[in-house]
Every structure is written in C-alpha cells, then in structure tokens.
Amino acid sequence: MTELSIHGGANTASARLGRLAIYGALAIFAAFYLMPLAVMVMTSLKDLDDIRTNSLLALPERLTTFAWSHAWNEACIGTECTGLAPYFVNSLVMAIPAVAISTFLGALNGYALTKWRFRGANLIFGLLLFGSFIPFQVVILPMAQTLGFMGLSSSVAGLVLVHTAYGINFTTLFFRNYYVSLPDDLVRAATIDGAGFFTVFWRIVLPLSPSIIVVTVIWQFTQIWNDFLFGASFTSGGSQPVTVALNNLVNTTTGVKMYNVDMAAALIAAAPTLLVYVVAGRYFIRGLTAGAVKG
Amino acid sequence: MADTRAGAASGGPARVAGWLQRHLPKIVVAPSVIAALVFFYGFIIWTAYISLTGSRMLPDYELIGFQNYQDIWRLSRWNTAVWNLAIFGVLFIGVSMLVGCVLAVLLDQRIRAEGALRTIYLYPMAISYIVTGTAWRWLMDPEIGIEAAVRNLGWESFTFDWITNRDMAIYTIVIAAVWQASGFVMAMVLAALRGVDQEIIKAAWLDGASLPQIYRRIIIPSIRPVFLGAFVILMHLAIKTFDLIMAMTSGGPGTATSLPATFMYDMAFQRDRLDLAATSAVMMLVTVTAIIVPYLYSEIRAGRRD
Amino acid sequence: MNMLKGTLFASAALGLAAATPAAAQTAEVLHYWTSGGEAAAVASLREAFEAAGGTWIDSPIAGGGGDAQATVLRSRVLAGDPPTAVQIKGPNIQDWAEAGSLANLDEVAAQEHWDDILPPLLRDIVTYEDHYVAVPVNIHRVNWMWINPELLAQVDAEVPTTWEEFNEVATRLQDAGITPLAHGGQPWQDATVFETVVLGIGGPDFYRAALVDLDPDALTSDTMIEVFDQMRTLRGFVDDNFPGRDWNLATRMVMNGEAAFQIMGDWAKGEFAAAGLEPGTDYVCAPTPGASGYILNSDSFAFFNVEGEDRIAGQNLLASLILGPEFQETFNLLKGSIPARNDIDMSGFDACAQQSAEDLAAAVADDSLVPSMAHEIAIPRAPRGAFLDVVTEHFNSDMSSEEAVERLLEEVELAQ
C-alpha cells in the first residue's frame, strides 16, 4: 500500500504539513517507547550521589561504568559475590538447547501437519494451540512431581524439557501457518520422484524456511531467556538462570540501595534479547510478512 | 493421507518401509502430542481435580465436591481480581490494537528511518516484565519519577500519582502493558499491510477512491485475519499478566491491582490454599476456552479449505 | 571483631569436627535472607559451617518475604529432592512436619540441652509431637516504635505511652508540618501496625483471643472496632506516597528527619546501624503505645528428610552450630534481633536489644508474650492472609470499621 501514501500533490503545502504531522506523531511515540530504557541506561551510568541529588530523568553529571562492572562480576547475590556472570552462562546453557529443540520440533510438526495431512491433523493442531492458554502457575506443582519422577529435578536437562514442552505449541503454530502457504505441489512432485518424508523436509521444505525460523527463534529465545517462574521453581543454588539471579541481586542490599547497579544488572540480563531484536528485528517483521501471523 | 501413497510397494522389507513411510508423519508428531497430553491436558485434569478437593499446602486427593466454587465468590479479593481483569483486559487489548494499528499505518507512509523506528517500537517485547515493571514503577513513583521531574522543571502543581491511588493504579498497569505489547501488534499489522495486493489498491486509486475508503473497503478486510491473531496473542498475555503486577505494585495499593493470576499465585504459594488456587485456574481456563474455541474452530476450518 | 569471630568459629569447628569424624558434611540451605544485615548474618553462618569442614550450597530465593521461596520449596519436595535446611517459621513448620517431610533432631537437641535453653513459646514452635524438627535462630520483637528525637523535641513531646497520647503528639507534629508516621503500604506492614494496635488497645488476652484463637466474639467485639478506628486515625498520619514503599525506605524517612515515628520490628535497627547511628542519641526505640506486652517473631531453619550420610552429617553440624552460643551472638548482633537461647550475656548488645531481652523475660513472667500474626508465627498462612486482605483494604480505602469487622469475620471463617 506504500504506493498511495499521501501522494498526488507531493509538493503542496498541505501535503508537507501532513508529512510533518506523521513524523511528529512517530517521534512522540518513539519518545514514549524509549523513555523507560533511557531512564535505565542513564541511571546505570550515574554514581550514587548523582542519583540521590538529581531527578531520575536528568542526564548523568559524571559518567561512570562502575555499576556495570560491579553488576557483572562483583555484586553479591545471596552470600556469593560473583556478580551476574556465572548465571548469565547458566541461562545460555539452558536457552540454546531449549530454543534449538523446540524450534526443530515445531518445524517438523508444522511440516507433518500441513504437507502430510492425516486424519486428526487439525485436531492435533487445535490441541497444541489450546495448550498455550494454560496459566503457568498451575503447572508448577504437577511439573515438579513429574520431573522428580523422571529424575530430572533441579537439572538443566529438566529445565530444557520444561521450556521445550511449553514452547512446542507456539513453534508449531508459527511453522504450520507458514507451511500452509507453501504450494503442496512442491512436495507432491518430490514424492513422485521417490523422495521420502525426511528427504523432502531437508531438501525442499527447510531451505524455504529461513524467515520463519528467524521468527520462531526470536520468539522462543525471548520467552525462554526472560522466564522467571520456571527458572526459580526448577533450579537450585548455582544453577539458577540470570533472571532469578537478577531478582536476588536487586533484593540484596547492604546498607545503601545501589540503584545504578540494579539497573546495570537489569540491562545485562536484558542484553541478549535486546541484541537479538535490534540485530534481527527486521527479519522478524519480514518473517511475519511471510505468513507467520496468517489467521 | 492423500499425499502419502509414495512408498506403496510389494514384498517384505519394502512393505515395512512402506508402512513406515505412511506412518512417519504421525510418528514424528507423536512426541509433541504426548508432551501436550501430559504437560497440558494431564496437568489441566490434575488442576480440575484439585479444585474439587480440600488441598491446603500440599495436594490432598480426597474429593469434597464443588464447595470451593461457592467459597471463592465470597472472597472480596477474587471479585476485585475478576473485575480488574475485565477492565485491564478490555483496555489492554483495545489500546494495544489501536496503538499498534496507528503505528503500522503511520510507518507504512514511506517513512525515512523506518527500520530504526520499528526497532524502537518493538524492543519492549524483548525485555522481561520483571525488568520493565521495575523501570515503570520508578517512572510512576511520585517521589522520584515523572511527577518529581516535571515539578523540578517548575510546574509545581503537576500531579501524576496514579500508582499510589487505588482507583487509578490499574491504569498504570495498562500503560506499562500497552507499552510492552503494542509494538508486537504494530509488527503484525505492518506485515499484513505489506502483504496486501498492490494491484487492487492501484486499481481502486485510479477509480478515484479516497484514502479512507481504500482502508475501509480493501485494506482492513484483507488483513482481518491478523486482527484475530493479534487478539488471541494479546488475550493470552492479558490473562497471564503476573510478573508485571508483581514488579510494579505487588497487587496494591491494598488489593486494588489484583488479577486472577496474582490471586492464584498468592493462594497457592502464600496462603497454602491449593484448592482455591486450582479453582481460580479452572475458572480462568473456562473463560479462555469460551473465547478461544470459536477462534480455533474458524482457524481449523480455514485450514481445511486450503 | 572479625578476627575474634574467626577464632571463635575455628574453636567451635575443632570441637565439632572431633564429634563427627570421617563423613563429609554437606548442606544445601534454602533461604530468603538476601538483604543488608540478613545477608551478612547468613554469610557468618556459612563461614562457621565451612570452617568446620562442611560444604555449603547456597540457594537464595529473594522476594516477597519468602513467598518466592515457598514456591521453590514445594516444588523441590514434590520432586523428591528437598534442600537440607530451609528457612521456614511458625505454623508452617508444623504443616511440613505433619506432611512427614521433616527430619528428627532429637539427638542433637539432647546433646546440646535445647530443652533447658529455649523459652517455652519457642520450643512449641520448633517441635512437632515433642520431637525437634527445626532450630530457632533468633527472637525479634515486633512492637517497637523507632523515633526521631529531634522532631519530637521540636513539638516538645515525650515518647507516647498510650494511643491517645500518640494521636495527640502526631496531631501536633502534623500541625508543625512534619509527617508523623513513616509507613510503607504493603500488606505485611499494614498488618504489623495492626497487631501492635490490637495489643495496645486490647491487651495480651484480647490479642490471643482475636489473633491466635480466632474467636468470632473477639473478632467482632467493640474492642476490634476501636482497633480499626485507630487504624483509620493512623492513616491520617501517613504521607500520600506510602503505597508500595519498602520498610527500609520508611526507616530512612525517620533517619533523615522526614517523619517522626515508624512502627516496625527490630530488624529496622540494622538500617540505623548501617548509617552509623546510635540508639538513645540519634534515634530512640520504645515499645508501641498501650498495654504492655511482647509480640514475638522468630526465624528458624527446618531440616528436611534427606538421603546420604554427608547430608545428614551436614544437618547435625548445622543444627548444633545455629544454636551454639558463639553463632547466636555474632548472628544476632548482625541481624538486630536477640539470641534464641536465654543464657547469652547481653552486655555486648545495644540498648534496644538489652531492653528487648529484659522485656521478654518480664513478658514470660507475667504471661504477656504473644506470637506475631503478621509475621506468620501465630496462625497458619491462610487465615493470616485473610487478616492481611481486610486490614490492607481497610487502611487503603474509606471502609468503615464496622464493615471491616464484618468482612474480617467472614474471610477468616472462609480461610479455616
């Protein structure tokens, strides 16, 4: 629809005014969206005196990176003064396999459900989709029992399993909606040539999927990285993910509350997902355009 | 099954291979189905069962009937939570949709720096509620946030104390939640706008249709499915809103910002009332079901037409 | 002081190491002590444990005064993988014991003569069917007022001893443009103030009838209406920005001269100490107004049934360390509380702690020692939650005292 925009008399005064209004509106929205982040970044770069004497929205008087280095490897979390660094690694170790497995399963499911339609395929899809509306607080206790029964409690493997199980529905939704719009003929032609289920998947379907894979990976990574409830419930001691450590760090105060360190820690914990959005954001929208949101 | 005839052949090993080939799609899907049956439906049944018991701190499997479903409505906290969810849900979904659509339409006007703006609108989705909730709590805190900053600039009577006002606090949650989710709606709508057939629009334009007419007659109808999709995702977020409340108000002032999700968490883990927690969860699920099943039905019917 | 602590621990460690030879000792400790003096206090326990040759696995879960931890604990127990020691308290200990999850500590208790050194109310809290299942760490007094003496002097006021006097002083402060009461609007803080008012207006017997036995007559009595009236009056003495404020920020208001009083347990002392302030001169501690009495709050560690010799050895070591005289002294100096055992020399403690210990002995003698409702010592968590809901709703709205009493009765009944 970009074609029509406010075109026609692009040079008239009223059109120019219109453009100005659009840019103005976009800028105001941008300011609103950036405000919390700006406050966090500014606070993290201030020293404590500055925070105490000046308002939250004021620019830093002196820039200091003390808060960042302190949050990264010195701040006390409970009785361990290690900073966020080790927990950051824990989160990576947990999130990477969980994202990979749930994305892969979602792709397989989406492919099987759309290109090899069998009786009950729609029902299965409906079952999976409905599952995403279960409130997570409900599943903690039965999940704990199940993990204990499987011998996976308080382990990274257990947490990966939990995140995979509760991610499959979304990954399947994304891939299924994308694959629905791929022409069936592609698959049919290949099967006539004798290609099997997996051959078609690897050779034909997967190479067509990078945009939807990006969408799914971004979504899953964000969800899993930012999870607090499962991480707190199913890990212990030094194996906690970074969100749990962040909560502990923010609540660990000795004497004076160090707002700058809290904010730096929050930004460190948020950095990977922020980075993913900034770097891959455009692919996200492109992937959505490619059909992920259809229906 | 229409597409799976490929491996049909005669002979022993070939027959096995053929069987495998035919059933492979089901075998591939099976683990996910089993996971869903156990982790979603098994746990839903477990929860429904617990709601019919008198479980306190730990699960107790002796049935007591529907007593909990009567008791819960006598708790003022639950009534507040339900009413808040109605206010929050309607405003959050409505405003997020509106803001998302406005942003998408504005961004679709051949904007310079579109990529940067898109990222700015979308990034809140990347950060966890615990983090953004804390930032918003500061901004809204009359002593250190926006109110203090504006007063410092000289406007002494400026007041923005919603977060400490029991009648207004729920709206501060709406603001933060809209901030977080509207960018996602923007992305979905923008994606859909880009998918609308340019030829039809051009034709309408040449026929002399005005811009609002084109939106009303052509563009909005053709991106309707996206509204549904966005609605479902927003509703999913609305019902699960929990971390944000905990980080911003912990349900206060008083119990003014309680939601069913916080009610359930408190009952289960603070009050040792698993039975009431399960009861509230079942009622949330029933509500969701009533709204989501028609959507799923239309989704699946649409799938069949393909 | 640090060196002294080190040697004390080392000698304690030697003795214990001799008592429990060979087996390695491991303890995974689940706790929510992550802030200020609390974190320092738990670190001192860890130090002592490690000095005695044990391996300490730290599992802090901050947040919600232990709510986040409660979630984790339940999922760990249901998964069949309980932590060694967990910071739980009051009737919650009884619940876990009833569920059969707690280990028996009678052997250590006999060895260390716990029967002789613990006040009776504390012994009831940490035993189940006459067996020790938990170890108390400290005794906190809830009904304290923290006062900025300068502000009081500005209006020529004495420390009030009845609620009428308090109201009168507070009105004078308000007229002078001073916020009388620093308060944080969180349900547990509202309930903390509430229970001190219940004790002050109703006295210890009424307190027990209403907040421990949950007697319907007491809950709907005129005295209870009077209590809610006083809460309404107190609401008028609080500044507008109180909702959601953390208690330590309220303490800071008293320190900085922004408010005259705070009603809070003696953990508030840690904040004054961290700022280098001295009791008696920079700030004043006094029991809350009205009838005398002692509202007790006590932290404790419960020991779960664990498997493996090293873990059981770890439990025994930890249990005897926690109630050992050296640790009791170091820990409680850091935490602001007083020792759980009654044979510790109080001369090293500050004036407020010494008064707390004296008042405790007096309260035991004249039967005015009562358990805290707000801090989960008096009643299980479900009825406590009902109190919190009603008290906080009343405090934050314009609900009448009569309606509050009615609601209280209904919600407390539902919660049982």
> For position B265, which CATH number holds?
1.10.3720.10
**Given an 8 Å threshold on Cβ–Cβ distance, is B270 in contact with C380?**
no
Best of C86, C389, C390 to disrupt the B interface (most B CBs within 10 Å) is: C389
Q: Which helix H or strand E contains C323, and what residues bound it?
A: helix C309-323
Q: Note which residues in 144-173 of chain B have CB less than 8 A from chain C.
A: 161, 163-164, 166, 169
CA distances, C141 to each of B181, C247, C252, C266 (Å): 46, 16, 20, 6
Q: How far is B300 from chain A (nearest CA, A)?
A: 6
Contacts by A201-206 with C-beta closer than 8 Å and gap 24+? A201/A107, A201/A108, A201/A111, A205/A107, A205/A111, A205/A115, A205/A179, A206/A107
DSSP designation for A80: B
Determine the pLDDT at residue A290: 61
Q: Quick check: C403 pLDDT over 60? A: yes
**Residues C133-190: pLDDT tens digits?**
999 999 999 999 999 999 999 999 999 999 999 999 999 999 999 999 999 988 899 9
CATH number of the domain at A85-292, please?
A: 1.10.3720.10
Q: Which helix H or strand E contains C339, and what residues bound it?
A: strand C338-339
Q: Kindly state whether C79 is in contact with chain A, defined as any CB-CB distance less than 8 angstroms.
A: yes
Whether B24 maps to a domain, the answer reads: no
Q: Note which residues in 145-164 of chain A have CB less than 8 A from chain B.
A: 146, 164
**Given an 8 Å threshold on Cβ–Cβ distance, is C382 in contact with B271?**
yes
C-alpha B254/C-alpha B262 separation (Å) is 13
Beta-carbon neighbour count of residue C237 at 10 Å? 21
Whether B210 maps to a domain, the answer reads: yes
Best of C32, C71, C73, C74 to disrupt the B interface (most B CBs within 10 Å) is: C74
Mean pLDDT of C207-214: 96
Residues of C in contact with B75 (CB under 8 A): 389, 411, 414
Determine the pLDDT at residue B193: 86
**Which residues touch B281 (CB under 8 Å, ≥6 apart)?**
A135, A137, A138, B47, B51, B264
Residues of A in contact with B24 (CB under 8 A): 116, 196-198
Whether B140 maps to a domain, the answer reads: yes
Q: Quick check: C412 pLDDT over 80? A: yes
Domain count for chain B, please give it. 1
Among the partner residues C31, C39, C71, nearest to A254 by beta-carbon distance: C39
CA distances, A145 to each of A151, A159, B226, C76 (Å): 10, 13, 39, 9
User: What kind of fold does domain C144-292+380-414 have according to CATH?
Assistant: D-Maltodextrin-Binding Protein; domain 2 (3.40.190)
Q: Which chains touch A (3 or more CB pairs under 8 A)?
A: B, C
Q: Kindly state whether A248 is in contact with chain B, defined as any CB-CB distance less than 8 angstroms.
A: no
Within chain B, where are the H helices? 12-35, 43-50, 67-71, 76-107, 114-122, 129-140, 146-152, 169-195, 198-206, 211-214, 220-222, 224-240, 243-248, 260-265, 274-305
**Given an 8 Å threshold on Cβ–Cβ distance, is A78 in contact with C35?**
no
Among the partner residues A4, A194, A293, nearest to B192 by beta-carbon distance: A293
Mean pLDDT of C378-388: 92
Q: How far is B167 from chain A (nearest CA, A)?
A: 24
- ipTM of this predicted structure: 0.80
Question: Which segments in chain B show pLDDT lower than 50?
Answer: 1-10, 305-306
Beta-carbon neighbour count of residue C117 at 10 Å? 18
Determine the pLDDT at residue A76: 75
Determine the pLDDT at residue A248: 77
Q: How far is A8 from chain C (nearest CA, A)?
A: 55
DSSP designation for C178: -
- The range of the structural domain enclosing residue B300 comes to 76-305
Determine the pLDDT at residue A252: 62
User: What kind of fold does domain C2-141+297-354 have according to CATH?
Assistant: D-Maltodextrin-Binding Protein; domain 2 (3.40.190)
Determine the pLDDT at residue C85: 93
Determine the pLDDT at residue A258: 78
Contacts by C157-163 with C-beta closer than 8 Å and gap 24+? C159/C284, C159/C286, C160/C289, C161/C289, C161/C290, C162/C200, C162/C289, C162/C290, C163/C197, C163/C200, C163/C201, C163/C230, C163/C289, C163/C290
Q: Kindly state whether C65 is in contact with chain B, defined as any CB-CB distance less than 8 angstroms.
A: no
E strands, C346-406, are 369-371
Tally of residues, chain A: 295
CA distances, A1 to each of B186, B187, B207, B214 (Å): 16, 15, 16, 10
Tally of residues, chain C: 416
Contact criterion met (CB below 8 Å) for C63 and C7? no
Hey, what are B70's tokens? Answer: 């009567």
Hey, what are B137's tokens? Answer: 């709590």
Beta bridge partners of C238: C181
Determine the pLDDT at residue A293: 45
Q: Which helix H or strand E contains C271, and what residues bound it?
A: helix C268-274
**Given an 8 Å threshold on Cβ–Cβ distance, is C78 in contact with A141?**
yes
SS3 A136: helix
Q: Kindly state whether A138 is in contact with chain B, defined as any CB-CB distance less than 8 angstroms.
A: yes
Residues of C in contact with A233 (CB under 8 A): 71-72, 75
Hey, what are C58's tokens? Answer: 């730290």
Q: How far is B255 from chain C (nearest CA, A)?
A: 6
Q: Quick check: C1 pLDDT over 60? A: no
**DSSP codes of every residue in B95-130:** HHHHHHHHHHHHHTTT-TTHHHHHHHHHGGGGS-HH
Nearest to C83 by CA among A237, A49, A226: A237
Q: Which helix H or strand E contains A108, and what residues bound it?
A: helix A85-115
Query: What residue spans define the domains of chain A?
Result: 13-64, 85-292
Best of A251, A256, A257, A261 to disrupt the C interface (most C CBs within 10 Å) is: A251
**Given an 8 Å threshold on Cβ–Cβ distance, is A79 in contact with C46?**
yes
E strands, C165-310, are 179-182, 259-263, 284-287, 294-297, 300-303
C-alpha C214/C-alpha C212 separation (Å) is 6
Among chain C residues, the shortest Cα distance to A145 is held by C79
Q: How far is C90 from chain B (nearest CA, A)?
A: 14
C-alpha A286/C-alpha B118 separation (Å) is 12
Q: How far is C232 from chain A (nearest CA, A)?
A: 31
Please tell me if the domain spanning C2-141+297-354 has the same topology as the one spanning C144-292+380-414: yes
10-residue stretch averages of pLDDT, chain A, 295 residues long: 45 82 93 90 87 76 87 79 89 95 94 86 83 76 83 84 90 86 84 85 89 89 88 77 83 67 90 88 73 45
Q: Kindly state whether B56 is in contact with chain C, defined as any CB-CB distance less than 8 angstroms.
A: yes
**Given an 8 Å threshold on Cβ–Cβ distance, is A281 in contact with B123?**
yes
Among the partner residues B144, B240, B264, nearest to A56 by beta-carbon distance: B144
Nearest to B242 by CA among B274, B226, B215, B264: B264
Q: Kindly state whether B142 is in contact with chain C, defined as any CB-CB distance less than 8 angstroms.
A: yes
Q: Kindly state whether C28 is in contact with chain A, defined as any CB-CB distance less than 8 angstroms.
A: yes
**Given an 8 Å threshold on Cβ–Cβ distance, is A144 in contact with C40?**
no
DSSP designation for A54: S
Q: How far is B36 from chain C (nearest CA, A)?
A: 20
Determine the pLDDT at residue A152: 82
Q: Kindly state whether C55 is in contact with chain A, defined as any CB-CB distance less than 8 angstroms.
A: no
**Given an 8 Å threshold on Cβ–Cβ distance, is B250 in contact with C186?**
yes
Q: Which helix H or strand E contains C338, and what residues bound it?
A: strand C338-339
Determine the pLDDT at residue A174: 85
**Given an 8 Å threshold on Cβ–Cβ distance, is A78 in contact with C42?**
yes
Query: What residue spans define the domains of chain C?
Result: 2-141+297-354, 144-292+380-414
C-alpha C297/C-alpha C372 separation (Å) is 6
Hey, what are B125's tokens? Answer: 């989705």
Q: What are phi and psi of A116, to 5 degrees?
A: -130, 50
E strands, C19-165, are 25-31, 54-60, 85-87, 127-128, 131-132, 134-136, 138-141, 144-147
Q: Which helix H or strand E contains C248, and what residues bound it?
A: helix C247-255
Residues of C in contact with B272 (CB under 8 A): 92, 95, 380-382
Residues of B in contact with A5 (CB under 8 A): 108-110
C-alpha B57/C-alpha B60 separation (Å) is 9
**Residues A226-278: pLDDT tens digits?**
988 888 778 776 788 898 888 778 766 555 667 888 889 989 999 999 998 88
Best of C59, C73, C246, C249 to disrupt the A interface (most A CBs within 10 Å) is: C59
At CA A39, angle to CA A37 and CA A41, rounded to 5? 70
